[in-house]
Chain A
């Protein structure tokens, strides 16, 4: 089955760190560009990071730049998001999402993992 499964969410104190993982299966992961998108409780979607296949290009939203790091391990079919300096406003469901193959659009999403930043 073609799917993405996120893990690693949880409760963390302000200023703390957390690493999210996204396991891909059912497709050739190394051929696809990947993204992280988040959704705060009751709010809309926010794109936060992108990584090209091979990791050659990486981009971040201004809201997380310098605090979050996206990476991938194609040998393990996995995508990661290292988060540090966490703030209350980072509380959200975090989705990993796949870019379409040679087209623009996020065509495959995971179910999401919840990150709560609170003391």
Chain B
């Protein structure tokens, strides 16, 4: 099994937007609208920020948005804030499996 592919890093200045891609195959990302995104600070547990491609759990700012096209899902963080500096992981359901992405470190310049 291979993890989903994410860029290792992304960055932006406060107030700017950053978009992270998550590339899989037709068997996972492309085959289901079951992509989720997680934010993780060092030494902490991950936190769900997007589920089912585009939905935000209660309490997650609307600066976080998700989308999908074909086998690639994306997370956009608009209006970057200092507290957005963290690791971000995508995840996709696949038949009887669940794959995580390789992770992206977002740096706020």
Contact = CB atoms under 8 A, between A and B. Distances in A.
Q: Is chain B a partner of chain A in the same complex?
A: yes
Interface of A: 35, 37, 44-47, 50, 59, 61-63, 95, 97, 100, 103-107, 109-112
Contact of B101 (A44, A97, A103): A44
B33 to A, nearest CB: 8
A44 B36 contact: no
B1 interface: yes
Contacts of A47: 91, 97-100
Interface in B40-79: 40, 45-48, 50-52, 55, 57
Interface residues of B, number: 26
Given A47-B98, A112-B45, 15 more contacts: A44-B100, A44-B102, A45-B38, A46-B100, A47-B91, A47-B100, A59-B96, A59-B97, A100-B48, A103-B52, A104-B34, A104-B93, A105-B36, A109-B45, A110-B45
Interface of B: 1, 3, 34, 36, 38, 40, 45-48, 50-52, 55, 57, 89, 91, 93, 96-103
A103 B102 CA distance: 23
A107 B100 contact: no
16 contacts: A35-B98, A37-B46, A44-B100, A44-B103, A45-B38, A45-B89, A45-B103, A46-B100, A47-B91, A47-B97, A61-B1, A63-B1, A100-B51, A104-B34, A105-B48, A106-B46
Contact of B48 (A35, A45, A106): A106
